[in-house]
Structure 1
Amino acid sequence: MYYFQTNSLKYRDSIAIISDGQSFTYAQLLDKAKEIAVSINLSASSAVAFMVNPGFNYVATQWGIWLAGGIAVPIAVAHPMDSIQYILEDTGAKTFICSENFKSLVADYCSANNIRLIVIGEEVETGKCKVESGTLPSIEMSRGAMILYTSGTTSLPKGVLTTHHTIEAQIKSLVEAWEYTANDHTLCVLPLHHIHGIINVISCTLYVGGKVEFMPSFSPEGIFAAFEKGQLNVFMAVPTIYFKLITYLESLSDEKRTYYKQIMSKFRLMISGSAALPVSVMEKWEALSGQRLLERYGMTEIGMAISNPYHGERRAGHVGMPLPGVQVRLVDEQNKEVTGQPGEIQIKGPNVFKEYWGKQKATEESFVDGWFKTGDVAEIADGYYKILGRNSTDIIKSGGYKLSALEIEEVLRTHSGVSDCSVIGLPDEEWGEVVAAVVILSDKNTSSDALNQFMRTKMPAYRVPRKYLFVEELPRNAMGKVTKNELKKLF
């Protein structure tokens, strides 16, 4: 019996999901998952793609695929057909489950490629599938459970395969570190084709008998309306969402801001992740909400690996310390462990993925002596890890120096005329790379000369951007990370 089955039976009469104005118990969730599992009727373990709106049916579909012995492949509800086709071809999925509103998008392709299309609300309706004892297979925890696709900012996305054992290890580590309980009631506002929403928000909360509430669509007004009900006590988001919430709060009256601060200060935990949390955003949010955000570090291949403490100092600009059961080390370019200097983060533990789907060479190249090579560079101070950036996009090699784009960004954001920014390295024959900044201005009268003079008072000249470009917005992926390769094209 799966870990989620066991826990669902334990909490069967408790509310598990709140979505579309309805509440669903753990027993209802598990029953619906069983019905979906029977409708899938897999003859062997295989990939099952699904494109389902966030809410009760999303979780039931994911669980149903697992109960049927399949490998769940969640697809973003905003994906165009080309992206969907890539995932279906890469996984070889021959079953596709979707909400009714996506049927017209995928029906012709599925029909032409002999892919069985199951539409929630048509083939799968409550009471239509009889779940007989012994109908569903017995599944080993070592079996493949989920394929999530990397963002693919530098190459085609790769499918990251995790097992049931991997997923449970990721959940248990966070439940211990962040002290989830059955009293937790969290709001899911994140895309559900990434690990942040799937594991940290949904899976961890349901593992301990808590409640997950879904929003039909994102809006600051909607989030604060949910906060006003006074039932939520955990909230997780990406920095761009916190930035939007801050902008909304700052547009309100002093009285209304005080009102919302009283509500938010009662939450037991608020977390930021999936992209670097600007110190300025952390400080503004604390002033407006009374909550000091807990920043952590993870990625599709490893789940969560490093986190600021639940109890203790949550250090701005740092991602914290290794999570329970996770081994972390820093290495130089020769893969030798380093201390007292920056190095690439490498991870080992039961939280690490099994393989890149169908890509043996890429899998082998991503490990050294059992350690997964993250490609992220960090340094340690007093036991706290500080991310300096990705080797490929955030570490700028200029004139013999290795510069952290993230550190330069933090300084640039402190200028009163800067709303947000992103720093990149541009190819240069003389320097190797030169520092360039793409900036969103809060004061349109701010010039590149003014920024240059400001930066030269804050850091050595070799770190100061040589080029500035002013834009209205920064290109980002679904999780709010700036796609820096797109920025380079602007120059």
Structure 2
Amino acid sequence: MSQLLARFAARSNDPRTGVLDDTGTHSYASIVRGAVAVGTALSAGGRVEPGDRIALLVHPGADFISAFFGVLLAGGCVVVLSPLHPAPETRYLCEDAGVRTVLVSAPMREHGAALEGVCELRDLATLLETPAGNADARALADAVAESAPALQLYTSGTTGKPKGAVLTHANIGVQQELVGQAWGFTERDVLLHTLPLHHMHGLAIALLTALGAGAAARTRSFDAVAVWEEMANATVFMGVPAMYHRLFLAFDAATDEERARWSASAKQLRLATSGSAALPVTLAERWRAITGTIPLERFGMTEIGVGISNALHGARFAGYVGLPLPTVETRIAGEGPDHAEVEIGELWIRGPSVFAGYHGKTEETKKAFAPDPNGGAPWFRTGDTVTRDPSLEGSPFKILGRTSVDILKSGGYKLSALEIEEVLREHAAVAEVAVVGVSDEAWGERVVACVVLRSGAGCETAELRAFARERLAPYKVPKDILFLAELPKNALGKVVKPELVRQLSVLPSPTS
């Protein structure tokens, strides 16, 4: 039996608030009823086979949750679509996943029109009104195995075409339990939820963890001023670095009265987290200045959920992601044929939350795993270069960057782009920065810093390079600095560095 569904079905008669969305307040009982209606409608006439991919193009809120669990109760596997995706990408995801049916909510109908002729489009409102008869959430949950596919999430595509990572009911159920316990979720919590739901962070790590604990979720689109205001009614906020950056821009533009009120609201949160990208130390320390503590940073991926986390209580260190969660094993693997454990290397992870594989991509799945040198279970290769700091309590992990784009090989040295970015970000004129390596005959990779300046600020290349030289070893100082109006980003605000490198390749050589 799926523990994920068992927890949900146990709320069948729960009158407490499960979701507050733009349409109002919704009890757990009403959300479960909606899910049973959707599951019953989908199952009618045997239209859904176990594991069938059913896509959701649904506005965040109570209806999304009913649709999500309704698909699972019918035995299907959810594929979440986003209105942020252009029509060709939406079609690609549906075709790659083999989606035959898409559930569409009213606000998404225009976007869903792009799928006409590709998939069957079904109106979610109609499904939610389907008489469920004697159908019972617990009975439907009993029929779904832990090993069944529950969710197919697409990787962010920062290194190529998105791949569909298949997560089983067991994967998500374990993640609910691990994160819920590590971060102290209870029925008394209210999660202020502004993350997109087509990503692991927004759906499984944030929303499903809260629901698994019986907490309430306030779902809304991200608006910095509104988020500051709504923190007063929440206990938990989960964000990404780009959100914290925008929160501080709004804070700086606010009146003294607003700042005082917002500071008080943020201080009463019992937990603020950051994920999906490394949180710059400057942003972490800015949050500390306002609230007295830094955000809880953790390491996670589509394929594993959260694997490593800073402590809820106790020491947190800016720039570090903490220690492995219970049941999660880690290894820092070297590049040699035996992949011996080293001080700086690729992070390997294994445990019950690791995904089942990439849909329809057997070879890609094989490449994602490495055999255990000692004959144990295989390891998932995260593609992130990490180290641990024994001088800090517990020897927490530090992410040095994606091996493919953040670890640069220049002039015989291995450099961390994140370290260089952290230094440049300390300059008063710098709002955002991304450091990449561009192919160079002399250096192997030439270190290039792409900088977005703060509004109204001015800075010359020579000034910024001099600033870097005072704080970095000579071989780490960017050879080129390019000032841009904006950086290319994905839906979570993460800089898409391959796209940045592509853009640089067609531009005239920047001024050194």
Following superposition, the deviation at residue 136 of structure 1 comes to: 7.8
Q: 1:251 to 1:321 in 2, by over 3 A?
A: same
| Structure 1 position 221 matched with structure 2 position 234 | no
Aligned to 1:57: 63
Aligned to 1:394: 406
Please tell me whether the aligned partners of residues 332 and 342 of structure 2 are also in contact (alpha carbons under 8 angstroms): no
Give distance in 2, aligned partners of 1:91 and 1:130: 32
- Larger displacement relative to structure 2 (151-160 or 217-226): 217-226
Aligned to 2:7: 7
Give distance in 1, aligned partners of 2:255 and 2:135: 58
Give distance in 2, aligned partners of 1:9 and 1:50: 21
| Structure 1 position 100 matched with structure 2 position 106 | yes
Q: 1:60 to 1:261 in 2, by over 3 A?
A: same
Ranges in structure 2 where 5+ consecutive residues have no aligned partner: 372-377, 505-512
| Structure 1 position 91 matched with structure 2 position 90 | no
Give distance in 1, aligned partners of 2:141 and 2:177: 26
Q: Which secondary structure state, in structure 2, belongs to the residue aligned with residue 213 of structure 1?
A: strand
Please tell me whether the aligned partners of residues 272 and 293 of structure 1 are also in contact (alpha carbons under 8 angstroms): yes
- Tell me which of 364, 373, 381 is aligned to 2:381: 373
TM-score (norm 2): 0.91
Following superposition, the deviation at residue 358 of structure 1 comes to: 0.4
Give distance in 2, aligned partners of 1:231 and 1:157: 37
Q: 1:136 to 1:390 in 2, by over 3 A?
A: closer
Following superposition, the deviation at residue 334 of structure 1 comes to: 2.3
Deviation per CA, 1:225-277: give whole Å up to 9, x if none: 322xx331000000110110111111122332122211211111000000110
Q: 1:125 to 1:170 in 2, by over 3 A?
A: closer
Please tell me whether the aligned partners of residues 405 and 436 of structure 2 are also in contact (alpha carbons under 8 angstroms): yes
Give distance in 2, aligned partners of 1:173 and 1:397: 37
Ranges in structure 1 where 5+ consecutive residues have no aligned partner: none
Q: Note the 1:242-321 alignment, pairs <5 A.
A: 242-321=244-323
Aligned to 1:468: 481
Following superposition, the deviation at residue 389 of structure 1 comes to: 0.6
Aligned to 2:508: none
- Tell me which of 101, 123, 127 is aligned to 1:119: 123
Give distance in 2, aligned partners of 1:135 and 1:408: 53
Give distance in 2, aligned partners of 1:410 and 1:24: 43
Aligned to 1:487: 500
Please tell me whether the aligned partners of residues 377 and 389 of structure 1 are also in contact (alpha carbons under 8 angstroms): yes
Q: 1:221 to 1:330 in 2, by over 3 A?
A: same
Give distance in 1, aligned partners of 2:481 and 2:146: 52
Following superposition, the deviation at residue 127 of structure 1 comes to: 5.3
Give distance in 1, aligned partners of 2:140 and 2:286: 54
Residue type at the aligned position of 2:244:
Y
Please tell me whether the aligned partners of residues 38 and 136 of structure 1 are also in contact (alpha carbons under 8 angstroms): no
Give distance in 2, aligned partners of 1:377 and 1:278: 17
Give distance in 2, aligned partners of 1:233 and 1:196: 18
Following superposition, the deviation at residue 338 of structure 1 comes to: 5.2
Q: Which secondary structure state, in structure 2, belongs to the residue aligned with residue 166 of structure 1?
A: helix
* Number of residue pairs matched by the alignment: 485
Residue type at the aligned position of 1:415:
H
- Tell me which of 139, 160, 163 is aligned to 2:144: 139
Give distance in 2, aligned partners of 1:183 and 1:473: 40
Following superposition, the deviation at residue 336 of structure 1 comes to: 4.3
Deviation per CA, 1:102-156: give whole Å up to 9, x if none: 334334633x24x3211122x3243545353667871111011110001112211
RMSD (CA atoms): 1.7
Please tell me whether the aligned partners of residues 379 and 385 of structure 1 are also in contact (alpha carbons under 8 angstroms): yes
Please tell me whether the aligned partners of residues 34 and 131 of structure 1 are also in contact (alpha carbons under 8 angstroms): no
Give distance in 1, aligned partners of 2:61 and 2:492: 19
Q: Note the 1:132-281 alignment, pairs <5 A.
A: 132=135, 138-215=143-220, 217-227=221-231, 230-281=232-283
Residue type at the aligned position of 2:494:
K
Q: 1:189 to 1:398 in 2, by over 3 A?
A: same
Q: Which secondary structure state, in structure 2, belongs to the residue aligned with residue 426 of structure 1?
A: strand
Q: Report percent identity of matched pairs.
A: 37
Please tell me whether the aligned partners of residues 4 and 173 of structure 2 are also in contact (alpha carbons under 8 angstroms): no
Residue type at the aligned position of 1:61:
A
Aligned to 1:423: 435
Please tell me whether the aligned partners of residues 264 and 291 of structure 1 are also in contact (alpha carbons under 8 angstroms): no
Aligned to 1:32: 34
Please tell me whether the aligned partners of residues 229 and 265 of structure 2 are also in contact (alpha carbons under 8 angstroms): no
